[in-house]
Every structure is written in structure tokens, then in C-alpha cells.
Amino acid sequence: MIFLRRQLPLLITLVTGLLFAAQYYVPHPASEQMLTSATKWLQIVGGFALILGVTSLFHQHAVKIRRQEAGWGYSLVLYVGMLGTIAVGLWANGKESVEGTMTAFGWIYNYMMVPLQGTMFAILAFFIASAAYRSFRAKSREAAVLLVAAVIVMMGRVPLGEYLIPLSGDVSSWILNVLNSSVRRAILIGVSLGAVALSFKIIFGVERSYLGGGKE
Amino acid sequence: MSLSERMLKIDRRIIFLVIGLCTLLPLLYPVGLPIKISSEVRGVYDHIESLPEQSVFLLSIDFDPASKPELYPQAIALLRHAFRKHLRVVTMTLWVSGTGMADQLVTQVAKEMGKEYGTDYAFLGWSPGGQAVIINMGQDLYSAFPSDYSGKSTKDLPVLDGVRSLKDVGYMVSLGAGRPGVEEWYVFGKDKYKFDLGGGCTGVMAPGLYPLLRSGQINGLIGGLRGAAEYESLIGQKGKAVAGMDAQSATHLAIILLVIMCNLFYFSLRQQRG
């Protein structure tokens, strides 16, 4: 059992990890064919992950409803919404419209999901403005630098700002292209080196947390 | 309670009202301030301009309705430009929740430009796997998308004649609102399969993609509503993005004034307290 639970997954990780890292540098048709097959498998596994996600969501909210935990009414709405959408989606064969006529699934998508998602995102503008008023204060030198940079970029990114202060566009572009790019690049390089190190640790079995807990 | 204290604790509904008015009034009474074209947006425009007729242009609509106000106008402007240049337009999405919206978008613009499905353009739909789809398309496009969104075999689509993988794409633009998006198209697509890549994203995401732009990993970037407005100006077909720029201008100015006011009250309060 230990072999199946520990050693076999570690072996699979080691072999596939090294194989696919090497594959990138081998342009032989056999190597390319292996990648094609593997990505096909990945797509299939991706499809199953979707089923797993939906099942997990159903389970989590079913527990909430059964125990009548705080906010269980929302879980009920989620259940009704999800089951309803799945039912009409299957009925319409996943199509929003058939020969120019909108299906019930299309109606749910166009008149419920689209405006609801749009509203959620639009509300952010109001909260950001309120949060900026309350918290964007020059309490320290660093905060003051951040504040000035933000104001310049905000001015430079809209026609009115460029009209009022013509230089703001160029300064904003310089901040984004030079300061922002260099700092982000440094962060990206750091993160990427970390990812490479972590990948090696996983491939060689040093990092094993992905195997989960449980008895040996 | 002093004036500064009261102003710092102002009812947030007043701020909401200010932002609401700043958005609504310019939409009702547009001013139409001139929009300066940035080199980032011009990069995408110039590349499409340089493509010969019948080149394959792949547009990945990697967003859902939440980002529609910013990315929808970008997609419309790009599609209009590509159709006007008589490119073979292939569209797809990596975001399942954006599939219906992407289908409507492509159909609407194609109808407006008098293009025929299958011959001039195609919508491949969505396929599970995220970045695995990109790699799979790089290996064999027909394996990643055996059929298009309407269920037709992709091998039978004349628009895909001579296209086997991402290597045969003339230009590719990903309009991304997150992951998978522009970055994934670079890492898993362009880097290995060597095609020209451009990007479009929401305003908040744009600063994060500047390193890719500056290093030439993407040859252009359309950032947010401003980017869409610039593209609409470039193709000479002003739409929702240009109309929205006045509202965005007013809102930005309102936020700047609010921040300045809040700092003035903050420092005045600090001075009062010694």
C-alpha cells in the first residue's frame, strides 16, 4: 500500500517531470507526438476537473442547507440557479440560440448572467472611489510617492487629464514603461526562479505535500 | 467635531452619488475630447495593417461578461479592422463563461461587415484545459478543436485551409481578463510555436503586461477602455469606447479631487492636533 500511495506517485512525478522538461528541447517527431498525446490527455482531465468542481460545490452547499447554517438561503438560491441552468442547458443542447431563436439557456445567459456579472464589476468603481477617499493618505514618504504616481497615471490615462496637463500623458507612459516594467520584471524573475526551484523539489521528491496527509 | 473630522467621515453615499453623476452626465452630454494614440495600441494596429489579405488572424476572446464594458469594444474594433483587411478570422475562447458572449460578438460584427461563416471567419468555441488547449493547438489545431461551436468539423472549414497549428497563424491577439489570458498565450504558445502575438486586457491588468511589451514578447497592448477608444479612433469607426472616455475622464478627475480633498483634511486635522 505504501508503494501505491507514496513511491508510485513519486516515481510517476520524477519520470514525467524529467521527460516533459527534456521534451521542450527535443524537436523529434516522436517527442512532438508525445506532447500532442499528453496535451490531449490534459484536456480530457480538464473536463473531469470541471465535473469535480461542480460536484464539490453541490456537496458544500448541500451541507450548509442541511445544517441550516448562517446564509443557507443563499445556498438554496445557488442550488436552484445551478440545477435550473443545467436542466435548460441540457434541454437546449448547450446552445444559446437555434436558427436565430433564443433558447431558455440563452435567455438565462443574456438576461441574467451577463447583467449580473456586469453589475458586480461596475459596483467596484463606487467602492474604489470611496476606499480611495478614506485610505489614500500621504501618511509617510512612501505613501506620498505612491499617491503622486497614482494621480499622474490617472490623469495621463484619460483625455481630460491630457487636455488639462498635456505632460501627464508622457509622464504616465514613462512611469508605466520604465518604473513599472522594471519592478514587475524583477518580481517576475524572482517568482520564475522560485517556480523552477519548486519544480525541481517536486520532481525529485523533496516537496511531497501534493501527495496529501494520511498514514504511511 | 471639526470640519476636517466631519469631512473625513463623510457619508460614502455622497461619494457614490458623485461617481454616479460623473459617469452618467458625460454619457448623456458627451464632450468628445481628442484621444491621443499610444505606441502600445498602434503596435497591434500596425501589425494587422501589415498583414497581406487572406492571412489567418486568430482572436482569443478570453473574458466573461464581467469585463464586457472594457474588452467588448476592443474585440469589436479588432474584428472590424481584420474583416476590413479581408483577413481570415478565426475566433475562440479559453473562458467557458464567455462562450455565448463571444459567439454573439463575432456573429454581430461579421454580419455587419457582410462576412460569411466558414469562408471568411469561424468561431471554434471553448475547449477545456486552459493552457493545455494552447499547447494542443500548437501541436495540432484539429485535435484541440475537432469541431467548431456549431458542431461542424473544423477540417471542413475553408477558412482554416492550410492551417495545421498555431505555427500557421499570421497574427494572434488574446483579449484577456485574467488567467488564462495574454501571459499564457505567450508562455505556452508564442514562445514555442513562434507566431506574432498581441494583447488586450482590462485597465487594471495592463501595468502587469508591460514587461512582456517592453521585451517584445508581445508587439502591442490594448489596455482597458482607453485602449479600445484609441483603436476605434485608429480604424475611424468610433463606438462605445470613445463614448465612454468622457465618463472615464470625469470619474478619474472626481477620484483625484476626492483624494486631494481627503489629504487636505487629513493634514489640517493633524495640524490641529499638533
Choose the closest CB to A176 out of B18, B132, B207: B207
- In A50-79, the residues whose Cβ lies within 8 Å of chain B are 50
Sheet arrangement for strand B197-201? B121-126, B88-93, B56-62, B171-176, B197-201, B221-223
Beta bridge mates, B58: B90, B172
Does one domain contain both B54 and B177? yes
Nearest CB neighbour to B251, from listed A125, A159, A176: A125
Residue A85 CB-density burial (10 A; 0-12 exposed, 13-18 middle, 19+ buried): middle
| CATH number of the domain enclosing B61 | 3.40.50.10160
* CA dihedral angle for residue A165, residue A170, residue A174, residue A180, rounded to 10 degrees: 60
Range of the domain at B233: 39-238
B139 contact residues in A (CB cutoff 8 A): 32, 35-36, 39
Q: Which three cell numbers stand for residue A198?
A: 519548486
**Do B25 and B159 share a domain, yes or no?**
no
How far A143 CA lies from chain B's nearest CA (Å)?
11
Q: From chain A, pick out residues whose CB is under 8 angstroms from the CB of B259.
A: 132-133, 136, 147, 150-151
Which of B68, B140, B192 is opposite residue A36, by nearest beta carbon?
B140
How confident is the model over A178-184, as a mean pLDDT? 94
Q: Is a pLDDT exceeding 50 seen at residue B160?
A: yes
* Digit-coded pLDDT (tens) for A19-56: 999 998 988 889 988 988 888 888 888 888 888 999 99
Would you call B121 helix, strand, or coil by DSSP?
strand
Sign for the CA dihedral angle at B140, B77, B251, B213 comes to: positive
Interface predicted TM-score of the whole assembly (ipTM), two decimals: 0.85
Q: What is the pLDDT averaged over residues B234-257?
A: 93
Number of H helices, E strands in chain B: 12, 6
Q: In the structure grid, which three cell numbers stand for residue A107, read together?
A: 435567455
Exposed e or buried b for every residue in A137-176, given b needs 16+ CB within 10 A? bbeeeeeeeebebbbbbbbbbbbbbbbeeeebbeebbebb
Q: What is the C-alpha separation between B172 and B187, in angstroms, rounded?
A: 14
CB within 8 Å: B252 and A160 = yes
In chain A, which residue's Cα lies nearest the Cα of B68? Answer: A118
Query: What separation, in Å, do the N-terminal and C-terminal C-alpha atoms of chain A show?
Result: 8
- pLDDT at residue A214, as a whole number: 55
Report the share of chain B in percent with pLDDT over 90: 84
What is the distance between the alpha carbons of residues A104 and A113, in angstroms, rounded to a whole number?
Answer: 13
Cell (9 digits) for A104: 431558455
In angstroms, the CA A168 to CA A36 distance is 49
Question: B138 to chain A, minimum CA–CA distance in Å?
Answer: 9
Q: In this model, does residue A191 exceed pLDDT 90? A: yes
With beta carbons under 8 A apart, name residues in chain B contacting A155.
252, 256
Taking only residues 16 to 35 of chain A, the set having a beta carbon closer than 8 angstroms to any beta carbon of chain B reads 24, 32, 35
> What's the 3-state SS for A145-171?
HHHHHHHHHHHHCCHHHHHHCCHHHHH
pLDDT of residue B273: 83
Count of structural domains, chain B: 2
Give the model's pLDDT for residue B133.
Answer: 92
SS3 A49: helix
From A188, which residue of chain B is nearest by alpha-carbon distance?
B211
Q: Is there a contact between A39 and B251 if contact means CB atoms under 8 Å apart?
A: no
pLDDT the model gives residue B191: 86
| B113-126 confidence digits (pLDDT tens) | 999 999 999 999 99
Task: Give the model's pLDDT for residue B25.
Answer: 95
Helical ranges in A8-71 per DSSP H: 8-23, 29-67
Residue A216: pLDDT band (50, 70, 90) is: very low
In angstroms, rounded to a whole number, what is the distance separating the alpha carbons of residues A68 and A83? 20
Task: Tell me: pLDDT of A213 over 70.
Answer: no
How distant is the Cα of A47 from the closest Cα of chain B, in angstroms? 5
CB contact under 8 A, A43 and B252: no
Question: In sequence order, what are the beta bridge partners of A192?
Answer: none
* Nearest residue, CB atoms, A160 vs list B139, B215, B249: B249
Query: Are the beta carbons of B207 and A180 separated by less than 8 Å?
Result: yes
Average pLDDT, chain B: 93
Highest mean pLDDT among A118-122, A130-134, B10-14, B90-94: B90-94
Q: Are residues B79 and B124 in the same domain?
A: yes
DSSP labels for B241-271? HHHHHHHHHHHHHHHHHHHHHHHHHHHHHHH
Residues in chain A within 8 Å Cβ distance of B69: 118, 121-122
Picking from A155-159, A185-189, B6-10, B90-94, which range would have the lowest pLDDT averaged per residue?
B6-10
Residue B255 to residue A154, Cβ atoms within 8 A: yes
Give A125's contacts in chain B (Cβ within 8 Å).
Answer: 19, 23, 251
CA–CA separation, A10 and A135 (whole Å)? 49
My answer on whether B103 and B189 are in the same domain is: yes
Q: What is the pLDDT averaged over residues B229-238?
A: 95
How much of chain A exceeds pLDDT 70, in percent?
A: 98
Contact B61, B98 (CB under 8 A): yes
Residues of B in contact with A49 (CB under 8 A): 128
Q: Domain-by-domain residue ranges, chain A?
A: 136-208
**Residue B257 pLDDT > 50:** yes
Distance CA A12, CA A197 (A): 19
Three cell numbers written together for A26? 527535443
**Confidence check: pLDDT of B9 > 70:** yes
> Cα A140 to chain center, whole Å?
33
This prediction's pTM: 0.89
Q: What is the mean pLDDT of chain A?
A: 90
CB-based contacts of B246: which residues, under 8 Å, 6+ apart? A159, A160, B26, B27, B30, B31, B32, B33
Cell numbers for A46:
480538464
Whether residue B15 and residue A50 make contact (CB cut-off 8 A), yes or no, is no
* Residue A215 confidence (pLDDT) above 70: no
Q: What's the Cα-to-Cα distance from A73 to each of A59, A118, B49, B118, rounded to whole Å?
A: 15, 23, 54, 47
Report the distance separating Cα B103 and Cα B100, nearest Å. 5
The residue behind cell 510517476 is A12
Q: Least CB-CB distance to A121: which of B35, B66, B132?
A: B66
Biggest CA pair distance of chain B:
78
